[in-house]
Structure 1
Amino acid sequence: MADLAAIKARLAGIPGIDGLSMQILAGRHNYTLAGKIIGVDPAAPQAEIETAIRAALGSPAVAQMPAGTPAGSTTLLPTVSLQLTGSQDMSITGAGGAGLSLRALIEKRKAKIQADLEGHMKAIEAEFDAQDQVVAGVGALPAKIKSETDNLAANIGQFVNDILGEGK
Protein backbone atom coordinates (compact mmCIF):
# COMPACT_ATOMS: atom_id res chain seq x y z
CA MET A 1 0.00 0.00 0.00
CA ALA A 2 1.41 3.34 -1.06
CA ASP A 3 1.93 6.10 1.46
CA LEU A 4 -0.32 9.07 0.61
CA ALA A 5 2.07 11.56 2.21
CA ALA A 6 4.97 10.18 0.15
CA ILE A 7 2.92 10.43 -3.06
CA LYS A 8 2.02 14.06 -2.24
CA ALA A 9 5.69 14.82 -1.56
CA ARG A 10 6.83 13.32 -4.90
CA LEU A 11 4.06 15.19 -6.77
CA ALA A 12 4.67 18.47 -4.93
CA GLY A 13 4.99 20.38 -8.21
CA ILE A 14 1.35 19.73 -9.16
CA PRO A 15 -0.95 22.61 -8.14
CA GLY A 16 -3.52 21.53 -5.52
CA ILE A 17 -1.72 18.27 -4.67
CA ASP A 18 -2.49 18.88 -0.97
CA GLY A 19 -6.13 18.07 -1.87
CA LEU A 20 -5.22 14.52 -2.97
CA SER A 21 -7.19 11.94 -1.02
CA MET A 22 -7.46 8.16 -1.15
CA GLN A 23 -10.31 5.77 -0.41
CA ILE A 24 -10.59 2.03 -0.76
CA LEU A 25 -13.72 1.22 -2.74
CA ALA A 26 -14.57 -2.23 -4.06
CA GLY A 27 -11.06 -3.44 -3.33
CA ARG A 28 -9.37 -0.70 -5.36
CA HIS A 29 -7.45 2.35 -4.25
CA ASN A 30 -9.27 5.40 -5.54
CA TYR A 31 -7.36 8.68 -5.49
CA THR A 32 -9.34 11.91 -5.88
CA LEU A 33 -7.82 15.19 -7.03
CA ALA A 34 -9.28 18.20 -8.84
CA GLY A 35 -12.62 16.48 -9.37
CA LYS A 36 -11.04 13.42 -10.98
CA ILE A 37 -11.06 9.90 -9.58
CA ILE A 38 -8.10 7.68 -10.35
CA GLY A 39 -8.62 3.97 -9.63
CA VAL A 40 -5.46 1.93 -9.06
CA ASP A 41 -4.81 -1.69 -8.14
CA PRO A 42 -3.97 -1.96 -4.42
CA ALA A 43 -0.71 -3.78 -5.25
CA ALA A 44 0.45 -1.10 -7.69
CA PRO A 45 3.86 0.37 -6.92
CA GLN A 46 4.13 4.03 -5.97
CA ALA A 47 5.63 4.99 -9.36
CA GLU A 48 2.62 3.51 -11.18
CA ILE A 49 0.22 5.42 -8.91
CA GLU A 50 2.09 8.68 -9.57
CA THR A 51 1.99 8.04 -13.34
CA ALA A 52 -1.76 7.34 -13.21
CA ILE A 53 -2.39 10.58 -11.28
CA ARG A 54 -0.29 12.63 -13.73
CA ALA A 55 -2.05 11.03 -16.71
CA ALA A 56 -5.51 11.67 -15.26
CA LEU A 57 -4.72 15.31 -14.60
CA GLY A 58 -3.43 15.71 -18.16
CA SER A 59 -6.50 14.14 -19.82
CA PRO A 60 -9.76 15.95 -20.56
CA ALA A 61 -12.50 15.68 -17.95
CA VAL A 62 -14.70 13.16 -19.71
CA ALA A 63 -15.99 9.79 -18.65
CA GLN A 64 -13.87 7.03 -20.13
CA MET A 65 -14.60 3.31 -20.29
CA PRO A 66 -11.77 0.94 -19.41
CA ALA A 67 -9.75 -0.30 -22.35
CA GLY A 68 -11.13 -3.49 -23.90
CA THR A 69 -14.81 -2.76 -23.13
CA PRO A 70 -16.88 -3.66 -26.23
CA ALA A 71 -18.59 -0.62 -27.74
CA GLY A 72 -22.13 -1.97 -27.43
CA SER A 73 -21.81 -3.38 -23.92
CA THR A 74 -23.21 -0.37 -22.12
CA THR A 75 -26.67 1.07 -22.43
CA LEU A 76 -28.04 4.29 -21.11
CA LEU A 77 -31.36 4.15 -19.33
CA PRO A 78 -33.95 6.70 -20.33
CA THR A 79 -34.64 9.53 -17.92
CA VAL A 80 -38.05 9.25 -16.30
CA SER A 81 -39.78 12.14 -14.58
CA LEU A 82 -42.23 11.16 -11.86
CA GLN A 83 -44.74 13.73 -10.72
CA LEU A 84 -47.67 13.13 -8.43
CA THR A 85 -50.67 15.33 -8.96
CA GLY A 86 -53.37 16.04 -6.43
CA SER A 87 -53.44 14.67 -2.92
CA GLN A 88 -54.16 11.06 -3.71
CA ASP A 89 -53.29 8.50 -1.04
CA MET A 90 -51.04 6.09 -2.91
CA SER A 91 -50.27 3.87 0.10
CA ILE A 92 -50.45 0.17 -0.64
CA THR A 93 -48.87 -0.80 2.66
CA GLY A 94 -51.06 1.37 4.84
CA ALA A 95 -48.04 3.46 5.83
CA GLY A 96 -50.30 6.48 6.25
CA GLY A 97 -52.28 4.62 8.89
CA ALA A 98 -49.07 3.48 10.51
CA GLY A 99 -47.98 7.11 10.71
CA LEU A 100 -51.22 8.03 12.45
CA SER A 101 -50.84 5.07 14.82
CA LEU A 102 -47.30 6.14 15.58
CA ARG A 103 -48.44 9.71 16.21
CA ALA A 104 -51.13 8.44 18.61
CA LEU A 105 -48.59 6.23 20.36
CA ILE A 106 -46.20 9.18 20.78
CA GLU A 107 -49.01 11.40 22.12
CA LYS A 108 -50.03 8.66 24.57
CA ARG A 109 -46.41 8.38 25.73
CA LYS A 110 -46.13 12.16 26.17
CA ALA A 111 -49.32 12.17 28.27
CA LYS A 112 -47.97 9.35 30.48
CA ILE A 113 -44.67 11.15 31.01
CA GLN A 114 -46.53 14.38 31.86
CA ALA A 115 -48.76 12.54 34.36
CA ASP A 116 -45.73 10.86 35.94
CA LEU A 117 -43.94 14.21 36.23
CA GLU A 118 -46.99 15.80 37.85
CA GLY A 119 -47.14 12.94 40.37
CA HIS A 120 -43.47 13.39 41.21
CA MET A 121 -43.93 17.13 41.55
CA LYS A 122 -46.79 16.60 44.03
CA ALA A 123 -44.58 14.24 46.07
CA ILE A 124 -41.77 16.82 46.05
CA GLU A 125 -44.19 19.57 47.14
CA ALA A 126 -45.39 17.33 50.01
CA GLU A 127 -41.78 16.90 51.15
CA PHE A 128 -41.26 20.65 50.94
CA ASP A 129 -44.34 21.10 53.17
CA ALA A 130 -42.84 18.61 55.65
CA GLN A 131 -39.59 20.60 55.62
CA ASP A 132 -41.57 23.79 56.31
CA GLN A 133 -43.14 22.11 59.33
CA VAL A 134 -39.71 21.07 60.64
CA VAL A 135 -38.40 24.60 60.18
CA ALA A 136 -41.48 26.00 61.95
CA GLY A 137 -40.83 23.58 64.81
CA VAL A 138 -37.26 24.80 65.04
CA GLY A 139 -38.63 28.36 65.05
CA ALA A 140 -40.65 27.50 68.16
CA LEU A 141 -37.53 26.35 70.03
CA PRO A 142 -36.37 29.82 71.17
CA ALA A 143 -39.75 30.48 72.83
CA LYS A 144 -39.67 27.05 74.50
CA ILE A 145 -36.09 27.61 75.69
CA LYS A 146 -37.02 31.09 76.99
CA SER A 147 -39.94 29.54 78.90
CA GLU A 148 -37.61 26.92 80.41
CA THR A 149 -35.09 29.65 81.28
CA ASP A 150 -37.83 31.70 82.97
CA ASN A 151 -38.93 28.62 84.97
CA LEU A 152 -35.33 27.90 85.97
CA ALA A 153 -34.77 31.49 87.08
CA ALA A 154 -38.01 31.43 89.07
CA ASN A 155 -37.09 28.13 90.75
CA ILE A 156 -33.58 29.30 91.58
CA GLY A 157 -34.94 32.62 92.83
CA GLN A 158 -37.43 30.80 95.03
CA PHE A 159 -34.72 28.47 96.31
CA VAL A 160 -32.44 31.39 97.15
CA ASN A 161 -35.30 33.20 98.86
CA ASP A 162 -36.13 30.07 100.83
CA ILE A 163 -32.53 29.67 101.97
CA LEU A 164 -32.09 33.29 102.86
CA GLY A 165 -35.46 33.36 104.49
CA GLU A 166 -34.61 30.39 106.75
CA GLY A 167 -31.49 31.98 108.02
CA LYS A 168 -33.25 35.01 109.54
Structure 2
Amino acid sequence: MNRRTFLATSMAASAAVLLSACGFRLRGAGSMPSLPPLALEGDTNSDLGRQLASRLEQLGTRLGDSGQWRVTLGSPRLDERRLGGEVRGSRDHELTLSTTLSVQRREDNAYLLNGETLSTSTRIRINDNDLLNREDLFSEAEQSLNRELTQRIIERLSALDNAS
Protein backbone atom coordinates (compact mmCIF):
# COMPACT_ATOMS: atom_id res chain seq x y z
CA MET A 1 0.00 0.00 0.00
CA ASN A 2 1.51 3.31 -0.99
CA ARG A 3 1.35 6.50 1.00
CA ARG A 4 -1.45 8.19 -1.00
CA THR A 5 -3.77 5.22 -0.71
CA PHE A 6 -3.10 5.00 3.00
CA LEU A 7 -3.76 8.72 3.54
CA ALA A 8 -6.97 8.66 1.49
CA THR A 9 -8.27 5.61 3.34
CA SER A 10 -7.40 6.99 6.76
CA MET A 11 -9.02 10.37 5.96
CA ALA A 12 -12.22 8.67 4.80
CA ALA A 13 -12.31 6.53 7.94
CA SER A 14 -11.69 9.58 10.14
CA ALA A 15 -14.52 11.49 8.45
CA ALA A 16 -16.89 8.56 8.93
CA VAL A 17 -16.01 8.31 12.62
CA LEU A 18 -16.42 12.05 13.18
CA LEU A 19 -19.76 12.23 11.37
CA SER A 20 -21.17 9.28 13.26
CA ALA A 21 -19.91 10.67 16.57
CA CYS A 22 -21.77 13.96 16.08
CA GLY A 23 -25.08 12.16 15.41
CA PHE A 24 -25.16 12.62 11.64
CA ARG A 25 -27.58 10.27 9.88
CA LEU A 26 -28.58 10.07 6.28
CA ARG A 27 -32.18 11.01 5.62
CA GLY A 28 -34.28 7.88 5.37
CA ALA A 29 -31.62 5.73 6.98
CA GLY A 30 -32.67 3.85 10.05
CA SER A 31 -36.09 2.72 11.06
CA MET A 32 -39.10 4.98 11.14
CA PRO A 33 -40.83 5.25 14.50
CA SER A 34 -43.83 3.03 14.87
CA LEU A 35 -47.15 4.76 14.36
CA PRO A 36 -50.32 4.05 16.31
CA PRO A 37 -53.00 1.93 14.62
CA LEU A 38 -54.59 3.89 11.77
CA ALA A 39 -57.94 3.88 10.02
CA LEU A 40 -57.16 4.87 6.44
CA GLU A 41 -60.13 6.55 4.77
CA GLY A 42 -60.86 8.68 1.75
CA ASP A 43 -59.42 7.91 -1.68
CA THR A 44 -57.73 4.61 -0.81
CA ASN A 45 -58.28 3.09 -4.27
CA SER A 46 -55.91 5.46 -6.06
CA ASP A 47 -52.32 4.46 -6.76
CA LEU A 48 -51.21 6.78 -3.97
CA GLY A 49 -53.70 5.28 -1.49
CA ARG A 50 -52.70 1.70 -2.29
CA GLN A 51 -49.00 2.55 -2.09
CA LEU A 52 -49.48 4.37 1.23
CA ALA A 53 -51.37 1.42 2.75
CA SER A 54 -48.74 -1.02 1.52
CA ARG A 55 -45.84 1.07 2.83
CA LEU A 56 -47.49 1.59 6.22
CA GLU A 57 -48.00 -2.17 6.58
CA GLN A 58 -44.36 -2.77 5.62
CA LEU A 59 -43.35 -0.43 8.45
CA GLY A 60 -45.45 -2.45 10.90
CA THR A 61 -48.37 -0.04 11.27
CA ARG A 62 -51.71 -1.75 11.83
CA LEU A 63 -54.48 -0.58 9.52
CA GLY A 64 -58.12 -1.15 10.37
CA ASP A 65 -61.45 0.51 11.09
CA SER A 66 -60.73 0.90 14.80
CA GLY A 67 -57.40 2.72 14.59
CA GLN A 68 -56.45 5.40 17.11
CA TRP A 69 -56.12 7.93 14.30
CA ARG A 70 -58.51 8.42 11.42
CA VAL A 71 -56.37 9.38 8.41
CA THR A 72 -58.39 10.81 5.53
CA LEU A 73 -56.57 10.93 2.21
CA GLY A 74 -57.89 13.27 -0.47
CA SER A 75 -57.91 12.48 -4.17
CA PRO A 76 -54.43 12.95 -5.61
CA ARG A 77 -54.13 15.57 -8.33
CA LEU A 78 -51.42 15.49 -10.99
CA ASP A 79 -50.74 18.86 -12.59
CA GLU A 80 -48.60 19.26 -15.68
CA ARG A 81 -47.01 22.54 -16.61
CA ARG A 82 -45.04 23.09 -19.78
CA LEU A 83 -41.94 25.16 -19.23
CA GLY A 84 -40.37 26.61 -22.38
CA GLY A 85 -39.10 24.54 -25.19
CA GLU A 86 -36.59 24.31 -27.93
CA VAL A 87 -37.15 24.53 -31.66
CA ARG A 88 -36.33 20.85 -32.14
CA GLY A 89 -39.42 19.68 -30.29
CA SER A 90 -37.97 18.99 -26.85
CA ARG A 91 -39.82 20.59 -24.02
CA ASP A 92 -39.47 20.65 -20.25
CA HIS A 93 -42.49 19.61 -18.23
CA GLU A 94 -43.02 20.12 -14.53
CA LEU A 95 -45.25 17.50 -12.92
CA THR A 96 -46.72 18.16 -9.47
CA LEU A 97 -48.60 15.54 -7.48
CA SER A 98 -50.61 16.86 -4.54
CA THR A 99 -53.21 15.58 -2.10
CA THR A 100 -54.93 16.70 1.06
CA LEU A 101 -54.45 14.93 4.36
CA SER A 102 -56.52 15.08 7.53
CA VAL A 103 -55.70 13.25 10.75
CA GLN A 104 -58.27 13.00 13.52
CA ARG A 105 -57.69 11.43 16.93
CA ARG A 106 -60.55 9.06 17.80
CA GLU A 107 -60.51 9.45 21.58
CA ASP A 108 -61.49 13.15 21.55
CA ASN A 109 -62.22 13.76 17.83
CA ALA A 110 -59.51 16.45 17.75
CA TYR A 111 -57.90 17.16 14.39
CA LEU A 112 -54.14 16.84 14.42
CA LEU A 113 -54.14 17.88 10.74
CA ASN A 114 -57.12 19.40 9.00
CA GLY A 115 -56.98 19.35 5.22
CA GLU A 116 -53.25 19.99 4.91
CA THR A 117 -52.01 19.88 1.32
CA LEU A 118 -48.87 17.86 0.68
CA SER A 119 -47.19 17.90 -2.70
CA THR A 120 -44.07 16.92 -4.57
CA SER A 121 -42.85 17.82 -8.02
CA THR A 122 -40.33 16.87 -10.65
CA ARG A 123 -39.15 18.12 -14.03
CA ILE A 124 -38.71 15.98 -17.10
CA ARG A 125 -37.60 16.77 -20.64
CA ILE A 126 -39.69 15.20 -23.36
CA ASN A 127 -39.38 15.17 -27.11
CA ASP A 128 -42.92 15.78 -28.37
CA ASN A 129 -42.17 13.89 -31.59
CA ASP A 130 -41.41 10.62 -29.77
CA LEU A 131 -44.90 9.53 -28.72
CA LEU A 132 -43.99 6.03 -27.46
CA ASN A 133 -41.21 7.20 -25.18
CA ARG A 134 -43.32 10.17 -24.04
CA GLU A 135 -45.95 7.98 -22.36
CA ASP A 136 -43.27 5.85 -20.66
CA LEU A 137 -41.51 8.93 -19.29
CA PHE A 138 -44.76 10.36 -17.92
CA SER A 139 -45.66 7.00 -16.35
CA GLU A 140 -42.24 6.63 -14.69
CA ALA A 141 -42.38 10.20 -13.40
CA GLU A 142 -45.86 9.64 -11.96
CA GLN A 143 -44.73 6.45 -10.18
CA SER A 144 -41.74 8.29 -8.77
CA LEU A 145 -43.98 11.11 -7.55
CA ASN A 146 -46.31 8.57 -5.89
CA ARG A 147 -43.35 7.07 -4.00
CA GLU A 148 -42.06 10.49 -2.93
CA LEU A 149 -45.48 11.69 -1.77
CA THR A 150 -46.07 8.45 0.13
CA GLN A 151 -42.77 8.96 1.94
CA ARG A 152 -43.67 12.58 2.68
CA ILE A 153 -47.04 11.55 4.15
CA ILE A 154 -45.38 8.93 6.38
CA GLU A 155 -42.79 11.46 7.56
CA ARG A 156 -45.61 13.90 8.37
CA LEU A 157 -47.50 11.22 10.32
CA SER A 158 -44.40 10.26 12.29
CA ALA A 159 -43.80 13.94 13.14
CA LEU A 160 -47.35 14.09 14.51
CA ASP A 161 -46.72 10.96 16.55
CA ASN A 162 -43.58 12.48 18.06
CA ALA A 163 -45.40 15.76 18.86
CA SER A 164 -48.41 14.17 20.56
TM-score class normalised by the smaller sequence: under 0.3
Structure ID, larger Rg: 1
- Greater length-normalized contact order (CA 8 Å, ≥ 6 residues apart): 2
More strand by share: 2
More helix by share: 1
What TM-score comes out, normalization by structure 2 length? 0.23
